[in-house]
Structure 1
């Protein structure tokens, strides 16, 4: 064999070995990490050998690793607007860290109609009416177009306004329809439909309705819709795997470590608030098909999303701080990176900017008596 042939044979062998090694590396990284791997890693971290390991960085330091491509603000702070939509983003002081732990309290009484966000029509009665009769007369559909329709009675015994209940008597009635929601403002056609529905109900229970002026109510609906469309926001951070993919079980195991529990839908988890009956502070979602697979541990996830419905969670819960903490903690534990929808890593400066904007949004909602997380805000931004 000549020197040239020997050289070519050696080069060919090296190339082949490189291809085999590369394929083995790709195969290894394509296998999703499972809960058992997390358990083994935890045991290794608790072994004596870990005493000589480097200190684990604080979650806030994770965002400084590697090169960062700065996304523009609207990539990370995405307002979901009603049809007339425009955004308003004032500035305010930044937020401070809190714990992810929560406490469950007794739920508050379900809120009723509110003149702030509802058209309210008194239904005058000659004498008290039973709750059973009021319930029997309720229309089959409790909506007017895209808006909720409701009837309330003043309990003759307690004096509270409430949805009619069996075995109770009511001395006064009122009907109502919501002025605006994420589908838009109450329009002329919907107001006319409301009048027909409320009149039919009043006739059925022997009441006389006193309808407000349509033009004034529709104008009020448009003004409320314009405000809502400029102050409605949903935030989402995407966690992407740096190397090995994750199994659904691995994701849920890490999420459970910081307080997330299974949601009502496959591939969804939630972080509960401090008040029972309150909207979740955060939600976590990943591919529902992977969650429903026959063997979920063989499903490979490369990313999942942490979301915050800004207007549905009280400012006192410090939801954005919790969103940042949850994202940083899970990214560190799972070898992931926090990005926006476009895959651009989010820097500390960008997150600080978003947090300042959110404080301004909270202030604007407070000024309209539509504080984030309030019953009125949750109905308006729905």
Structure 2
């Protein structure tokens, strides 16, 4: 081998080492820069080390608790979570809107590592919010899992919604790990990752996120936890014949129900639905001129605020409806409702509310509303 060949080989090795060294230095610089800025979460049961038994997927009824493993939601860290879902009795956000917070303060809303996994996008140079908004506003979901976009401005302010008049040095894309459609799938995670890569290619950004297998394992644990706790309690009103939908609606509204899409809701004093009322055929109350023969009352326990008489309140309203509509109130098995069973169910629901609290999924909380959607 000639001296020239040896020299070229040595030169090639040196160039490779220089490229590797530069990439390492750049990655280290990005990590240090991003590590400093996003708020850390307080202690959370879902982030603890306690374990729970694994249950069935939480798309149906539920009973259970959950145990997670994860990291704080920073622009240099990835979010991980482990959880459990149970079964029992019958039981985000697009970027763009201006925030009410002053421009010189951080937004309080942030990615939730208990139920979301984060992909971090770090721009080589700050990018105008006006340029990012058309792209990020379309990043609402990956498959059937909602996505949220958070930003870090060039002056290190955290934003829950991007603003057109600001410049951003980095973004977080938070993907929900599980909901009632099941855990995040490999296809859904790939869709989210592809969206992040597209963003990176458009605006010259580095993309960083956790390993796919780790994400899918976190999603499965969260789904198990929620399946163990996912409980809905139902009652049925048998009207004994078709009654005009307009009359049924008038009675329901007179008793205090309000519209929420095709269903009616009975609101709590904290502004969250306690339970819902729907037509037995699933149609909207104001859809067409057809009659109503059956009504369904539903208490969605994880999505309803804790209440010592959660079921009892629904029963009381159901009986008033039955009286006004000359209907029969029955349980989810079609049997007349026994007074003794009301107190028993309320006692069981108190246990469930406690389990939800212990699992870091307080009933009616923003986190519970996400994973039990």
The normalised TM-score by structure 1 is: 0.63
Distance 1:291 1:200 in 2: 43
TM-aligned CA deviation for residue 110 of structure 1: 9.3
Distance 1:263 1:139, change over 3 A: closer
Q: Which of the two has greater strand per residue?
A: 2
Q: Deviations over 1:237-278 (max 9, x none)?
A: 11224x67643343223322321123433xx322234345x4
Q: Does 1:281 align with 2:279?
A: no
Q: Does the CA contact (< 8 Å) of 2:124 and 2:206 recur in 1?
A: no
The residue correspondences of 1:142-161 to structure 2 (distance < 5 A) are 142-155=140-153, 159-161=157-159
What corresponds to 1:238 in structure 2?
Answer: 236
Higher CA-based Rg: 1
TM-aligned CA deviation for residue 366 of structure 1: 0.9
The counterpart of 1:79, out of the listed 61, 64, 67, is: 61
- Higher mean C-alpha deviation, range 361-370 or range 284-293: 284-293
Q: Deviations over 1:137-174 (max 9, x none)?
A: 33745322322233210345693331323223334311
Distance 1:144 1:263 in 2: 25
Q: Deviations over 1:207-229 (max 9, x none)?
A: 21221122222111111000111
Q: Does 1:370 align with 2:361?
A: yes
The normalised TM-score by structure 2 is: 0.65
What corresponds to 1:129 in structure 2?
Answer: 127
Say which structure, 1 or 2, has more relative contact order (CA 8 Å, 6+ apart).
1
The residue correspondences of 1:138-217 to structure 2 (distance < 5 A) are 138=136, 140=138, 142-155=140-153, 159-217=157-215
Distance 1:328 1:156, change over 3 A: farther
What corresponds to 1:351 in structure 2?
Answer: 342
* Structure 1 unaligned regions, length at least 5: 1-77, 90-106
Distance 2:257 2:341 in 1: 25
TM-aligned CA deviation for residue 354 of structure 1: 1.9
The residue correspondences of 1:244-283 to structure 2 (distance < 5 A) are 246-265=243-262, 268-275=263-270, 278=272, 280-283=273-276
Q: Deviations over 1:307-329 (max 9, x none)?
A: 22222121159543331221122
Secondary structure at 1:125 match in 2: strand
Distance 1:273 1:303 in 2: 24
Q: Deviations over 1:110-154 (max 9, x none)?
A: 954211111112222344322112113337453223222332103
Q: Which of the two has greater helix per residue?
A: 1
Q: Does the CA contact (< 8 Å) of 1:154 and 1:162 recur in 2?
A: no
CA RMSD across the alignment: 3.3
What corresponds to 1:15 in structure 2?
Answer: none
Distance 2:218 2:326 in 1: 51
TM-aligned CA deviation for residue 381 of structure 1: 1.1
The residue correspondences of 1:89-100 to structure 2 (distance < 5 A) are none
Distance 2:266 2:193 in 1: 41
Distance 1:149 1:255 in 2: 35
Distance 2:275 2:330 in 1: 17
Secondary structure at 1:79 match in 2: coil
Q: Does the CA contact (< 8 Å) of 2:312 and 2:342 recur in 1?
A: no
Distance 1:274 1:205 in 2: 46
* Structure 2 unaligned regions, length at least 5: 1-59, 64-83, 90-99, 102-106
Secondary structure at 1:231 match in 2: strand
